[in-house]
Structure 1
Amino acid sequence: MYNNLPPLKNLRAFEATARHMSFSLAAQELFVTQSAVSHQVRNLEQFLGKKLFIRQGRLLSLSSAGLTYFPVIQRVFNILDVTSAKTMGRSSGITRLAVHSSFALKWLVPRLPEFRKLYPHIDLRISMVTKIEVDLDLLGVDCAISIRNDNPQYHFNHLQSEEWFPICSPELYETFERLPLAEALLSFPLLDGGYQNEWLRLFDRLKLELPQDHEMHYFSHVILLQQAAIEGQGIALSTSVLADADIEAGRLMRIPLTLEESPEIFTHFYFCCQKERRNETDILALESWLKKEFNQ
């Protein structure tokens, strides 16, 4: 017996609402009224004893419980849909792409309208992943953007190599722009998103030692780290994919480096899918579009 499972219709209403971040769009997708979707979501919240959404007038956002619950429920529905389609011997009609949340928010999501304009027949759905290793079957997706290419079962296509570089707010930079980089790094807090080795490599390039008592601020997610940098809380490391939008908007700036100061740290992005599916029309179209976008 599965005693902790809520009604399926409530889960469907929650998943669609969280994906669209809209009760009305979820209602259109599910062919029910907006009030019915809202009622089903409230029933789910009562079942769980947790608020899944924060409602502020017409604005809707996921609560902390919703942020935890949504990717799991979305993954379960993805797996059910893909497995059912395979069992029936047909395509689901949907292309599911798994990406890391920071990449999705900063790079992919702003470009999705252009993709949908070019390929209106492709129902592209985005799933967020948190682990470095990508398991397409476990995630219930058709393809992914991965930073590793070591699974022999998958087809990998190298999209881009991104170099890491230091960033900070323009206001903070004004306080040290005349200082040598080495002195600036030793004078301000460093923001770390779980990649302290990258900081150590940069210090090594500068022939410096990172003091054990140096002020470091740690963040579990690069989005949090980058927001802290925008707020002027210290110096961070980032890449063009993650930082360019904020740099172009004037919220962040790339700290100038000489060739000798460059840390030469790279993250490699790969498109991946099952080898036997690499020539499927919709997957090929998505792969080609991603490659073109990276190279612009």
Structure 2
Amino acid sequence: MALATRRLPLTALRTFEAAARHLSFKNAAEELFVSSTTVSNQIRQLEKDWGCKLFHRRTRAVVLTDSGKSLARVLSKAFDDIRAEAELHMAATRKTVTIAVGPIFGSRWLGPRLSKFGKDYPEIDLIVHHGSRITSAGQMATDIVVDWGMGDWTDLEVTKLMEARYSPIVSPKLIAQSGPFIKPSDLTKHTFIHQHDRSEWRNWFALAGYPNQVFQSEIVVIDSNIVQRSVKDGQGVALGVFPFHDTDVEDGTLVKPFDIDLMPDRAFHLLTRINARGRKEVRAVCDWIEAEAAALV
């Protein structure tokens, strides 16, 4: 039966195009996630259907014949046209959602989940911004904000995502240098690295039974990622935000010397403007984040 009256062997043509582009059956097989034998067999069958040799097989290489070069030019243009058309279609149907998050939530919670989001919603482009604290809808520059607070925003849609708990964290390096932490007051032998003010430290020490603890040395760092990096380097002690540091403690990167957790009166909240979830893509991102957060409870 003539080739013109049969269905085109599209799989074999795709295989040939990859092999011709790479001039390698092995590299074509890796690109297509098949074996080199499969590539060789498909091209051999294509040569039989075409009625001519498409490759010269050499000991360690393959070279296109004149017929192979001609077919490769046609297929290369055809696949380029198909890719271009597909990209235009996907671009027209893609949606963009912007979200602002703080350093620790972004790096320790959202960042590790971005690939999962991409697989779950390949049609949505999620653009992540560094966020600062907001008090009203007028300060929102993105579709969604994840913020830390008491949940008392009045002109926004607010969903509580997750609570956090505070407990001191230190590095194994610091313990090796100065010895173990036996009682909470041992923390005061080192530099306190914290954000904003001492209030959470004071609350934690009060919970631990040291309501009038004196701070001898401290460094204030606004960026929580810098705080964590400094602690890991053994430069001092800090209040860890759990569950974000659970894996650090589990793998020994950090040490939680005391099983005393401070539960603050604030939590992480998902914020959107009123009726913003009317956009399907914004609602999809919000629903996904809420489901991921609920899975941790």
Q: TM-score range by the shorter chain?
A: 0.5 to 0.7
Structure 2 segments unaligned to the other structure (5+ residues): 1-92
Name the residue aligned to 2:157.
155
CA distance in 2, matches of 1:147, 1:245: 21
* Alignment of 1:211 onto 2:214: yes
CA distance in 1, matches of 2:98, 2:148: 18
Shift of 1:169: 0.6
**1:31-42 equivalences in 2 (<5 Å):** none
CA distance in 1, matches of 2:274, 2:169: 38
CA RMSD of aligned residues (A): 2.4
* Counterpart residue identity of residue 102, structure 2: H
CA distance in 2, matches of 1:183, 1:275: 47
Name the residue aligned to 1:142.
143
What whole-Å deviation, never above 9, does each CA across 1:137-186 have from its counterpart, x for those lacking one? 54431111122332222111111000111101123245443x43223223
Name the residue aligned to 2:290.
291
CA distance in 2, matches of 1:95, 1:108: 14
**1:42-61 equivalences in 2 (<5 Å):** none
Please give the secondary structure, in 2, of the residue aligned with 1:144. Answer: strand
**1:87-166 equivalences in 2 (<5 Å):** 93-130=95-132, 132-133=133-134, 135-148=136-149, 149-166=151-168
Structure showing greater radius of gyration is 2
Contact 2:191 2:236 (8 Å CA) reproduced: yes
* Counterpart residue identity of residue 142, structure 1: D
CA distance in 2, matches of 1:267, 1:173: 31
**1:187-202 equivalences in 2 (<5 Å):** 187-202=189-204
Shift of 1:102: 2.8
Pick closer, same or farther for the CA change 1:151–1:134 going to 2, 3 Å. same
The count of aligned residue pairs is 200
Contact 1:189 1:235 (8 Å CA) reproduced: yes
Structure 1 segments unaligned to the other structure (5+ residues): 1-90
Name the residue aligned to 1:62.
none
Contact 2:131 2:145 (8 Å CA) reproduced: no
* Alignment of 1:282 onto 2:281: yes
Contact 1:161 1:269 (8 Å CA) reproduced: yes
CA distance in 1, matches of 2:134, 2:141: 14
Provide the TM-score with structure 2 as the length reference: 0.60
Provide the TM-score with structure 1 as the length reference: 0.61
Identity %: 22
* Alignment of 1:221 onto 2:223: yes
CA distance in 1, matches of 2:134, 2:183: 35
